[in-house]
Every structure is written in structure tokens, then in C-alpha cells.
Structure 1
Amino acid sequence: MNSSIKGIATATLVLLLNYSANPGFALPQKINHPVSVAKSQPFTDTLIVPGERVGPITRATTRQDLVKLFGASHLLDKTISGAEGMGSFAATEVNLNQERSLLVVWSDNTRTKPLHVSNLGSAWKTREGIGVGTPLSELRKKLGNFKLYGLGWDYGGTILLDNSRLSSYEGKLILQVHTAANAAQKYPNDYRAVSGDRTLSSSNPHWKPLGIRLAEIIVLLNPSQ
């Protein structure tokens, strides 16, 4: 690994580890999204603006605001664990339909300051059209040839935005890709070739058979310093 790439990788990993070491970051939590809801939600703004907003949810949105935006019946408060089991903090699921659901993580139990939004359904997209489900080939068109962490550990599949076309989103957006179901069993050699705590190029040919797609978007709104 050359020195410039190593520096980028280290900076991104430090960012992730800093979030995991305090109540400002949690690894994606699995949410069982409801298949349908009684009524379609009236809002149509599903735009992600990294560092600023996720649709109507902004840096200043509170739990009470979520009630006004989505209705109390669609909210579920919970406490979730931080990355690598470090810490716990307040979160609120917004259960709409499968494509629009999300998770708001708060700075403390008052639920008045959102730290980040995650577990976004496929309807939520950036201005570039990036959303959950975007395949690796499309990500390369939008980001250029980027680096990402190898698979098989907590931060596996995390994209390094530095030196990509979306470098301005560094520190505001975290993108993580996953393989298709059973890809590790079907293509064990390819899976091993792109696994481990290291950085790899998105052009590595071993990614291709694994069915790589964007699986998690974390939008940082008020990250802890």
C-alpha cells in the first residue's frame, strides 16, 4: 500500500472508530421493516443531503418533530448498542413502508439532537442517485475508481470517499457495501481475495462475481467531536 492510500485509509478508519467509541455512532442495526402501512405518507422529499438533511429530517429535528412529520404510530423508541458493543444510546425507528423507513440516532436520551440517520430504505437517495441497492458498477460510474475496506469485519465494505468524485462528502456520509446472499459460499476464492482489514480498489476483478451492492448509508448530521 503506497503512503497516500495508507493515509486515506487510516483517516477514514479513525473517523469510523471515533464514532464507534462514543454515543455518536452505531453499526447498522437490522430493522424488520413493515411490508405496508395503513396510509401512504404525504411527503415526497426523499433526498439525502450529506451533513445537512435526510428528507425533512435536519440537524435541528427533535423527537417531537418526528411525530409531526410522520405520526406517533409510525415511531418506535429504542436503545441500541454502539459499534463493537461499545456504549448504548437512544434511537427512534421511523417505520413507514419498506422503501422509506429509517433510524434516527440521538445525542442523548432527551432525543432533541440527531447525530446520524441510518437504516435507510431504498427510496432515499443522494443528488447523484446513490441509494441502498445501487450496484458496484453504478457506484464506480458516480464515484470513479475508489478504495474500500475488505470484507469480513465490522467495517468491511466501507467506501473511502477521499480521492473519489464525492470527496466533499467525507465526514458527512458513510457508505458500506455487502455481497449478494451466499456469495461467500458460492465464490469462496473471490470472497477471500477481497476480505480482511485492508483497502482494495473497486476495480479489483474479485468483486465482480460477489454481486456487490450498497447496503448501508449513514448520514451524519451532528457528529460528536
Structure 2
Amino acid sequence: MKITYTLLALSVVFLACQGRKSAPSEVAMTDTARLLAVASDDDIAEEMEQSNDLSADFLIVPGQQVGPIRADASEASLIRLLGKANVVHDTIYTVEGQFDIGTTLYRNTADQAHVLWRDKKRFARPETVLIRPARDENNDLLPGAAGKTVQWATADGLRVGSTLRDVEAINGKPFNLYGFEWDYGGQSSGWRGGSLETKTGKTFIGATFGFDHDVPDNQQAFFEAVMGDIEFLSNNTALQQLNPTVQTLSISFQ
């Protein structure tokens, strides 16, 4: 039976352009009301207010915000907000055997997120945030503040764990993604004018799809039909049958 995890594939290239292990830390939550009060963008505040079931501490607004991470954030500012236990200077795997120096939030928990910076000297001005939950040897989520649940999500519900069909519904139409079993396997490669891109056609969020556990034997034929360095439409029959889930998210900033 094929192991089909795709946890290390990233959307850094598509959006254009862990080092030491430690015990899970206690997550210090920021104050939602305080974040709303300092919001510099009315649209962000409105998204927070409308998302009644989602803490602003983990709200994703593509291009503008990933929880407390704003376009003007730095590692130092995140330490002030979240505490040193929850903000770690780290070596982060990117793609194809490459690593970068950045910052990890909530390390070794379901809410683990990596920040890659534009200013690599001051570790400031985020370029990309990778929502990459920590998992055990069985590919099960390690618990965080909310247990084995990834809290990061957009206001319309896109999150780690969303199914391919869920994402189609959020996007409002089928989208493109790469086949499985290579470095970029399962990555979204274009939202085709759906709601997950801006009105001007820019994209600030990408998703990598895969499977929490092995593909069952009775679905192997479907899996083999969507392998390799090939783009597929999400409404492909085999993909619909497999209905993979979002394993990681990648958010860039305007």
C-alpha cells in the first residue's frame, strides 16, 4: 500500500514569488478585541466581526493577515504578543531539500505555523506564512490549545482538513492542482477566477492536498490516475472519488 503523505510540499513557488525538537508549549492567546481595535484595514475588522465562530487570533485574511501576523509584523513583535514560548527562531524546510531561517509559532502543536521573512536580517515583514501542523509518526495531529484541531482558518471556512469538495464550494468553481507523489504533489496551481483569488486575478493563498493515512486498496486505481507532474482539474473523476484533504496552507502578503 502506498504512503501518500504530502506534508512537506509547499506553495512558496506557486505564490511567486524544523530544526530542534522541543516539547509542545502552552499557547498564549492574544486578545481579539485588542486586535480589532488596532486593525488598520476596515475589511479585516469586518471579516473578524462577521466570523463569529472563529477567533481572530487564528483568522486568515489572504494577503493581509494570518492571526496576529500582519504585513508590518516582525519576530520581535510576535514575541511581545504571544510570548517567547510560542515564538521560536527556526530552520524551516521549504522545498526540494532546501531550508530557510524564519520563525515558528506554536511549535510541535496542531497550530504550528512557519513565517518566512522578506527582511532576513531583522526578521521582519512576512513574505509567506506556512500553516503546517505538527504530526506524530502515524501522521496524526499533535495536540494544541484546542486539542487535535487546527484553529487557523479563513472566514469562509478554508482550513487544514477541508476536503477537495469543500474547497471547490468555497472557491465557487473547480480549480487546478498538481498530481501526487512528487515535490509539488497535491498543490493548488490556480483558482481559475474563483473566490480564492482577487478580482484582479492575484492569488494570496495556496493549499496542498493529500491524505492523513494510506489510500485504501479499493481506491489505488483512482490514486494512480492522478499521480505525477501534471495539472488536473479538481472536478476530475478520480480526484472527486479520492476527495483528498488540505494538509498545509500557504499565505502570502500584498
Structure 1 residue 189 corresponds to structure 2 residue 221: yes
Question: What do residues 45-101 of structure 1 show as CA deviations (whole Å, max 9, x unaligned)?
Answer: 121111111012101101110111110122221123442234x43211111783433
Structure 1 residue 126 corresponds to structure 2 residue 158: no
The answer to whether the 8 A contact 2:92-2:114 is kept is no
By how many angstroms is 1:32 displaced?
A: 7.5
The structure-2 alpha-carbon separation of the partners of 1:186 and 1:72, relative to structure 1 and needing over 3 Å to count, comes to farther
Question: What do residues 13-68 of structure 1 show as CA deviations (whole Å, max 9, x unaligned)?
Answer: 9952954xxxxxxxxx699796662x652443121111111012101101110111
By how many angstroms is 1:146 displaced?
A: 1.8
Q: Paired residue for 2:89?
A: 77
By how many angstroms is 1:148 displaced?
A: 1.3
The structure-2 alpha-carbon separation of the partners of 1:58 and 1:14, relative to structure 1 and needing over 3 Å to count, comes to closer
Structure 1 residue aligned with 2:177, among 148, 163, 166? 148
The structure-2 alpha-carbon separation of the partners of 1:137 and 1:16, relative to structure 1 and needing over 3 Å to count, comes to closer
Deviates most, 60-69 or 72-81:
72-81
By how many angstroms is 1:180 displaced?
A: 3.8
For structure 1, the 5+ residue unaligned runs are: 1-12, 20-28
Count of matched residue positions in the alignment of Structure 1 and Structure 2: 199
TM-score in terms of structure 1 length: 0.75
Structure 1 residue 175 corresponds to structure 2 residue 207: yes
By how many angstroms is 1:210 displaced?
A: 3.0
Structure 1 residue 41 corresponds to structure 2 residue 73: no
Structure 2 residue aligned with 1:101, among 108, 112, 116? 112
Q: Paired residue for 1:51?
A: 63
For structure 2, the 5+ residue unaligned runs are: 1-10, 32-54, 134-149
The structure-2 alpha-carbon separation of the partners of 1:59 and 1:216, relative to structure 1 and needing over 3 Å to count, comes to same
For the residues of structure 1 that align with 2:243 and 2:103, how far apart are their CA atoms? 31
The answer to which structure, 1 or 2, has the higher relative contact order (CA under 8 A, 6+ apart) is 2
What is the SS of the residue equivalent to 1:128? coil
For the residues of structure 1 that align with 2:13 and 2:246, how far apart are their CA atoms? 20
The structure-2 alpha-carbon separation of the partners of 1:94 and 1:182, relative to structure 1 and needing over 3 Å to count, comes to same
Give the letter aligned to residue 233 of structure 2.
Answer: S
Structure 1 residue 161 corresponds to structure 2 residue 161: no
Deviates most, 164-173 or 67-76:
164-173
The structure-2 alpha-carbon separation of the partners of 1:199 and 1:33, relative to structure 1 and needing over 3 Å to count, comes to farther
For the residues of structure 2 that align with 1:95 and 1:14, how far apart are their CA atoms? 21
For the residues of structure 2 that align with 1:120 and 1:190, how far apart are their CA atoms? 26
Percent identity between the aligned chains?
25
Q: Paired residue for 2:163?
A: 135
Question: What do residues 183-205 of structure 1 show as CA deviations (whole Å, max 9, x unaligned)?
Answer: 17663211110111111121222
What is the SS of the residue equivalent to 2:124? coil
Question: What do residues 84-132 of structure 1 show as CA deviations (whole Å, max 9, x unaligned)?
Answer: 234x432111117834331111231421221111125521111211111
The answer to whether the 8 A contact 1:184-1:210 is kept is no
Q: Paired residue for 2:39?
A: none
For the residues of structure 2 that align with 1:15 and 1:66, how far apart are their CA atoms? 25
TM-score in terms of structure 2 length: 0.68
